[in-house]
Amino acid sequence: MIAIVLGTRPEIIKMSPVIRECERTGTDYFILHTGQHYSYEMDRAFFCDLALPEPKYNLDVGSGTHAEQTSRILTGIEHVLMKEQPDIVLVQGDTNTVLAGALAAVKLHIRVGHVEAGLRSFDRTMPEEINRVVADHISDNLFAPTETARQNLLHEGIADDKISVTGNTIVDAVFQNQDIAKKKANILDTLGLEPNGYFLVTAHRQENVDSPGNLKNIIRGICAIHEEYSQPVIFPMHPRTRKMVEQFNISLSGISVIEPTGFLDFLQMEANARLILTDSGGVQEEACILGVPCVTLRNTTERPETIAVGANMLVGTRCEQIQEGAKEQLKERNPWNNPYGDGRASVSIVRVCNSLPARIKTE
Q: Positive or negative, the Cα torsion across 19, 21, 24, 30?
A: negative
Largest CA distance in the chain: 66
Cα-to-chain-centroid distance, residue 300: 16
CA neighbours within 13 Å on the CB side: how many for 120? 15
Q: Is 287 helix (H, G, I), strand (E, B) or coil?
A: helix
Cα–Cα distance, 168 to 155 (Å, whole number): 21
Active-site residue, selected from the candidate residues 33, 137, 204, 238: 204
Q: Where are the beta strands (DSSP E) in the chain?
A: 2-6, 29-33, 57-58, 88-92, 111-115, 141-144, 163-165, 199-202, 233-236, 255-258, 275-278, 294-296, 312-314
Q: Is 236 helix (H, G, I), strand (E, B) or coil?
A: strand
H helix or E strand, kind and range, residue 67: helix 66-84
37 in active site: no
Find the distance separating the first CA and the last CA of the chain, reported in whole Å. 17
CB 261 within 8 A of CB 187: yes
Strand pairing of 312-314 and 2-6? unpaired
Look at residues 92, 55, 46 and name the one whose alpha carbon lies nearest to residue 264.
46
Beta partners for residue 92, in sequence order: 115
Q: What is the DSSP string of 142-180?
A: EEESSHHHHHHHHHTT--GGGEEE---HHHHHHHHHHHH
Phi, psi of 96 (to 5 degrees): -65, -30
Would you say how long the chain is, in residues? Answer: 363
Beta partners for residue 31, in sequence order: 4
Find the radius of gyration of the CA atoms of the chain. 20
User: What type of residue sits at position 75?
Assistant: T
Annotated catalytic residues are 204
